[in-house]
Chain A
Amino acid sequence: GQQVMQIPQYQHVQEGEDFTTYCNSSTTLSNIQWYKQRPGGHPVFLIQLVKSGEVKKQKRLTFQFGEAKKNSSLHITATQTTDVGTYFCAGSGNQFYFGTGTSLTVIP
């Protein structure tokens, strides 16, 4: 079954509000990736984290890999309508799994 869970499943925010999605694995991951899929589109690679406790930033997006390498988060500061889409984490352990995804809606 699914070994990489994400919460929340859905999130509606007002434009300008912050947004966070959390990714949790039942096993230790060697690395974690984040992807964004726009409605009707395909997943697009955003970033990869490899080190325990690693934090990376891309403009308004902040990605974090947990100390135990079992969880990760993506935080978006001051959301914009262009942030709409589904955000997936994907982890490599014994196998490779995509998370369940968090669908973000930004209300203008």
Chain B
Amino acid sequence: DAGVIQSPRHEVTEMGQEVTLRCKPISGHNSLFWYRQTMMRGLELLIYFNNNVPIDDSGMPEDRFSAKMPNASFSTLKIQPSEPRDSAVYFCASSPTGYQPYEQYFGPGTRLTVT
């Protein structure tokens, strides 16, 4: 079975541009998570969906960030406008069960560089 799929794997963009990161969770998983990882701040949970509904978006840094999950097999994380401090690795993860996070399966990540 395919794992969590993320695209693109690498993204380099200029400050002010819009960036869209994509994720396809494992089929049958009910929960989807977006994380950001940097050396300074470690692994941060940005937003969590359960059955396509956003449950906790308290980790979303600011209004420039938005996430959607239009169906069970696709989610996007958009940054508009992007800034250099958004440079990080963004991971998507999915989980097979319910409200409380259980074992999470991470995608390979998108390495974003904003110049």
Contact = CB atoms under 8 A, between A and B. Distances in A.
A44 B42 contact: no
Contact of B45 (A33, A41, A42, A97): A97
Interface residues of A, number: 20
B43 A42 contact: no
A48 B102 contact: yes
Contact of A43 (B43, B56, B102): B43
A92 B101 contact: yes
B106 interface: yes
B100 A31 contact: yes
Contacts of B107: 42
Main secondary structure of the interface of A (DSSP, over half): strand
A42 B109 contact: yes
B104 interface: yes
B45 A98 contact: yes
A55 B109 CA distance: 31
Nearest to B101: A96
A88 interface: yes
Given A42-B91, A42-B109, A43-B91, A96 B103 contact: no
Give the interface centre of B35, B44, B102, B107 by most chain A CB atoms within 10 Å.
Answer: B102
B105 interface: yes
Interface in A8-29: none
Contacts of B102: 33, 48
A30 interface: yes
Given A2-B42, A42-B91, A100-B42, A92 B100 contact: yes
A101 interface: yes
Contacts of A48: 102-103
Nearest to A44: B106
Contacts of B43: 43, 88, 98, 101
Interface of B: 35, 42-45, 48, 56, 58, 91, 93, 100-109
**Cβ-closest 9 pairs across A and B:** A42-B106, A98-B43, A45-B103, A96-B101, A43-B106, A100-B42, A42-B109, A92-B100, A42-B108
